[in-house]
Amino acid sequence: MPYHYARRLLAIERTAEGNAHLGWLLAFVAGATNAGGFLAVNQYTSHMTGMVSAAADGLVLGQTHALVTAVGALLSFGAGAACTAVLVNFGRRRQAHSVFALPLLLEAACLIAFGLLGAWLAGLGALLVPAAVAVLCFTMGLQNALITKVSRAEIRTTHVTGIVTDLGIEIGRALYGLDANAARLRLLGGLLLAFAIGGLVGAWAFKTVGYTATLPLAGILALLGAVPALDDLRAR
């Protein structure tokens, strides 16, 4: 990955192009993580709507394991989002180049941990699902909060409900005879396509190589985040 491109994607001064490219990349990672994670733990971990429903079902039906897993997922996702806020504010206070790189590096570390420890966790039976779901939800919380802060809440990458809704709104405007926002359509269409392709790649990779399928994803994020982090080291 060229240094100048990585710097542009994670630059403190944001551009619409930089936000779009970063959003497409993270949507691909989220799609791959979500689809591959489902094959690992039989749970989708990038969106919390289903987790709230699962918690309600577990409570009403007396399914303690499902309730604990869902509540743990919600808390983990929230903790990941909070962690991103802490890291971004820490970087801003220090006037660092790596303001937006720190959450990506932590996300990469989480994916590496899941990839390396997943096979071991699989041998623990009942402990696998809550632990793995918590790790993946924390990771997705990190990412969703990061792109939210980077784009000022214009882009989401870990779920597609909002993307499809916004696409429908723009298409409806065009059908009604109003001018649709072409740039917005390209952004939203790219996010949806990137998430779908990521899902296909993630499912295929996990089916082929198992838990280590997350390691290439971690490598992409680590390479991207390493450039501004190294800039900070050189500056110091």
Percent of the chain at pLDDT exceeding 90: 54
pLDDT of 44 strictly over 90: no
Residues contacting residue 78 through CB under 8 Å, at least 6 positions apart: 141
pLDDT digits (tens, 9 = 90+) for 202-230: 999 999 998 889 999 999 999 999 999 88
Ramachandran angles phi, psi of 15, nearest 5°: -125, 160
How many angstroms separate the CA atoms of 157 and 170, rounded?
A: 19
Q: Is residue 94 helix, strand or coil?
A: coil
Spatial CA neighbour of 84 closest among 167, 141, 165, 33: 141
Angle at 17 between CA 157 and CA 14, to 5 degrees: 85
pLDDT of 180 strictly over 90: no
Per-residue pLDDT band for 122 (boundaries 50, 70, 90) equals: low
Residues contacting residue 7 through CB under 8 Å, at least 6 positions apart: 97, 227, 228, 231
Domains and CATH numbers, the chain: 3-229 (1.20.1250)
pLDDT of 1 strictly over 70: no
Q: Residue 3 carries which side chain, given as an amino acid letter?
A: Y
- pTM for this entry: 0.92
Per-residue pLDDT band for 68 (boundaries 50, 70, 90) equals: confident
pLDDT of 42 strictly over 90: no
Please tell me the predicted confidence (pLDDT) of residue 124: 62
How many angstroms separate the CA atoms of 223 and 211, rounded?
A: 20
184-212 burial, b for 16+ CB within 10 Å, e for fewer? Answer: ebebbebbbebbeebbebbbebbeeebbb
Please tell me the predicted confidence (pLDDT) of residue 125: 59
Please tell me the predicted confidence (pLDDT) of residue 220: 94
How many angstroms separate the CA atoms of 19 and 184, rounded?
A: 12
Average pLDDT in the 168-189 region? 90
Percent of the chain at pLDDT exceeding 70: 95
Per-residue pLDDT band for 49 (boundaries 50, 70, 90) equals: confident
